[in-house]
Structure 1
Amino acid sequence: MHNRIETIAQQSLQNNEISHEDAIYLSQAGNDEVYDLFYWANRIRLKYFGQTVKACSIVSAKQGTCTEDCAFCSQSSYYPTAIEKYNLIEENKIVDAALYAENTGAHSLGIVTSGYSIDNENELDRVCRAISTISRDAHIHPHGSFGVLTREMADALAKSGLKRINHNLETSERFFRNICTTHTYADRLNTIYASKQAGLEICCGAIFGIGEETEDRIHLAFTLKKLDVDSVPLNFLHPIPGTPMGNRSVLTPMEILKIISLFRFILPDKEIKIAGGREKNLRSLQSWMFYAGANSTMIGNYLTTKGKPGEEDLQMIKDLGLELERTSNDEMI
């Protein structure tokens, strides 16, 4: 198996698409073979990104009372969770979050609002004004996640200075109906298409440990490759009491590292970002995410769950001999 993993890796190192059969083969690596998988995933990361990694932060700008029924989500109004709920926060608080994230070493700030979409014109205007201020006053890239978007919404966000939109597919198309019934996979794809047409970069990934099979993970990875997204955030279920998945067991650290490596083989030159659920799922093996192929991570808190203090993550990156990518003044022009 070792030789075949190396053969597949050579294709990824040349940015040639591996086959579906090869992806299945990689996903079945076991025992000592997983270390060979990690070794080559790391080699692919080094070729395309060197020793540089990115860190991003998010701010939960509007939280709770979401109309959608995503089975893993603490913010859905369908489920009795104990999270704090609030409407869109003031523009100055969003800007303050960006300045704080910049000071902690983050390359970008993701502004995240709960709900199917941006509710109305006033809410869109407020978000756009905050993005414009961040673009002018902070040396950090403003990113955003606002649910389903029309082309007009995407255009307005891009014009305000938004650099990248986050809109996850979450899982494969065939499995999606098992985790959400209030909107469709096509709704999510259409938001990605609209955002691309508006000139926005695309951050699109998934959540794992929600009952999906290996085939779902592979199908999703190839879908993201076909969409040519810029960044792929990988989230791992952090079970929230009150949700339908509140009692699910979490994935093992080694299974998660294999998922990261699989995505690096399939998406060799794309940013792979380790996001929600990292601390709970990877536990003492969090630093291994980079050697399994990731080149980006979130720092600080998530939407409704706590992360590690940013200082600890930055120290981990330094201890690994990796270099944190900063946002330069030239990038902001």
Structure 2
Amino acid sequence: MPPSSATVPPTAELPAAQPAGGDIGTDDDILQTARRQVLEDGNGLSAEQTLTVLRLGDDRISEALALAHEVRMRWCGPDVEVEGIVSLKTGGCPEDCHFCSQSGQFDSPVRAVWLDIPSLVQAAKATKDTGASEFCIVAAVRGPDERLMSQVRAGIAAIHAAVDINIACSLGMLTQEHVDALVDMGVHRYNHNLETARSHFPQVVTTHSWQERWDTCEMVRAAGMELCCGAIIGVGETLEQRAELAGQLAALEPDEVPLNFLNPRPGTPFADLPVLDATDALRTIAAFRLALPRTILRYAGGREITLGDLAVDGMLGGINAVIVGNYLTTLGRPAEADLAMLADLKMPIKSMQATF
């Protein structure tokens, strides 16, 4: 069980900081240890062990990915979960997440827009047509107000009447009243990312705390909804902080962890940060799978510019879910391209029946 909201897991004591990237040292035993501990026994790597994987040299990435794939097949099975997302309310968010062009505090081109209910239903139908089992309604807000909850309620009712698909939501930080209402609406899964390690969070967001995010995640879990809680990699964190985040996610025990890679957006404070190197992204995928052996690990935003054609390596290195189509403010790959990739890899798409 995850710890109570009053007791957040402490930051692991890790070795001295190293720059996030490059050929930064090897450990001849960590993958052997992972084979015994993770593959055979199903126990994820600790934060310190995860850091050792993140420090593996480039010459060992293929080995780490191969082991991560074995772990995924052993503890999650062959199915890949496909999901589509749509923004019910885009832009104008009062928060200052430094990577996000939807913040009303930044000089970005995204402006506040609301999606009408018929368009929401059409998006759900289009998502279902790809073979997806999950449709996520997202809103750029600190947390839902009465207007948003009313729109979500009406949208979910209309979708349920028209489409046989699981509905997830991502509506910011919640109160217990919000959580109870979403359960009553039949929301299957709630997304609320930790984004980055607790120790790095103040450099990424200043308008709310990491603890507030953690508290929302705990309420969601306690209410019986599935919890989707992920990360954005490449926001200036050190390798130690990347490993710290993996350990904090493991302590939270989410059903799903979406892995986003920074796609620097014009007008945001992180606009000039570099795109994460593809080898670092693959190292991170393997490390997170070894830290989270039983969790859905989903390709999310930024994989297109970070990995390109190497996205296949991630699918063969621990990833077992994908968001198809476009993201909230950035373009993704066409759904047909991802479905063709899964077909080429002979990876079956998770059926609706398997999600209930």
Whether the 8 Å CA contact 2:92–2:111 is kept in 1: the answer is no
Structure 2 counterpart of 1:29: 56
Asked if 1:102 is matched to 2:102, the reply is no
1:299 counterpart (318, 324, 339): 324
1:204-242 Cα distance to aligned partner (Å, 9 max, x none): 011011100111111111111111110000000001111
Whether the 8 Å CA contact 1:145–1:165 is kept in 2: the answer is yes
Structure 1 counterpart of 2:188: 163
Describe how 1:109-124 pairs up with structure 2 within 5 A.
Answer: 109-119=135-145, 121-124=146-149
Q: CA deviation at 1:84?
A: 4.2
Structure 2 counterpart of 1:42: 69
The letter for the 2-side match of 1:55 is V
Q: CA deviation at 1:9?
A: 2.3
Whether the 8 Å CA contact 1:231–1:270 is kept in 2: the answer is yes
Could you tell which deviates more after superposition, 201-210 or 18-27? 18-27
Name the SS for the 2:272 alignment partner. coil
Q: CA deviation at 1:49?
A: 2.6
Q: Determine the C-alpha separation between the residues in 1 that align with 2:140 and 2:176.
A: 19
Structure 2 counterpart of 1:197: 222
Asked if 1:72 is matched to 2:99, the reply is yes
Describe how 1:308-327 pairs up with structure 2 within 5 A.
Answer: 308-327=333-352
Q: Determine the C-alpha separation between the residues in 2 that align with 1:173 and 1:280.
A: 26
Could you tell which deviates more after superposition, 123-132 or 275-284? 123-132
Q: Percent identity?
A: 37
Structure 1 counterpart of 2:19: none
Asked if 1:15 is matched to 2:45, the reply is no
Whether the 8 Å CA contact 2:234–2:261 is kept in 1: the answer is yes
Query: Structure 2: where are the runs of 5+ without partners?
Result: 1-26
The letter for the 2-side match of 1:50 is G
Structure 2 counterpart of 1:280: 305
Asked if 1:58 is matched to 2:70, the reply is no
Q: CA deviation at 1:331?
A: 4.9
Whether the 8 Å CA contact 1:151–1:198 is kept in 2: the answer is no
Q: Determine the C-alpha separation between the residues in 2 that align with 1:82 and 1:18.
A: 41
Describe how 1:148-227 pairs up with structure 2 within 5 A.
Answer: 148-227=173-252
The letter for the 2-side match of 1:138 is V
Q: Determine the C-alpha separation between the residues in 2 that align with 1:331 and 1:185.
A: 30
Whether the 8 Å CA contact 1:6–1:40 is kept in 2: the answer is no
Structure 2 counterpart of 1:255: 280
The TM-score, its normalising length taken from structure 1, stands at 0.95
1:92-113 Cα distance to aligned partner (Å, 9 max, x none): 2222211110001212111000
Aligned residues: 329
The letter for the 1-side match of 2:328 is L
Name the SS for the 1:78 alignment partner. coil
Could you tell which deviates more after superposition, 197-206 or 169-178? 197-206
Whether the 8 Å CA contact 1:9–1:41 is kept in 2: the answer is no
Whether the 8 Å CA contact 2:42–2:75 is kept in 1: the answer is no
Structure 1 counterpart of 2:16: none
1:268-288 Cα distance to aligned partner (Å, 9 max, x none): 000000100010110121111
Name the SS for the 1:273 alignment partner. strand
Q: CA deviation at 1:198?
A: 2.0
Whether the 8 Å CA contact 1:257–1:289 is kept in 2: the answer is yes
Change in Cα spacing, 1:305 to 1:94, as seen in structure 2 (3 Å) is same
Q: CA deviation at 1:90?
A: 2.0
The letter for the 2-side match of 1:107 is S
Q: CA deviation at 1:136?
A: 4.1
Q: Determine the C-alpha separation between the residues in 2 that align with 1:122 and 1:21.
A: 45
Q: CA deviation at 1:166?
A: 0.2
Structure 1 counterpart of 2:5: none
Could you tell which deviates more after superposition, 128-137 or 219-228? 128-137
Query: Structure 1: where are the runs of 5+ without partners?
Result: none
Structure 2 counterpart of 1:243: 268
Cα RMSD over matched residues?
A: 1.5
Change in Cα spacing, 1:223 to 1:4, as seen in structure 2 (3 Å) is closer
The TM-score, its normalising length taken from structure 2, stands at 0.89
Q: CA deviation at 1:3?
A: 4.6
Could you tell which deviates more after superposition, 128-137 or 37-46? 128-137
Name the SS for the 1:55 alignment partner. strand
Q: CA deviation at 1:39?
A: 1.1
Change in Cα spacing, 1:4 to 1:196, as seen in structure 2 (3 Å) is closer
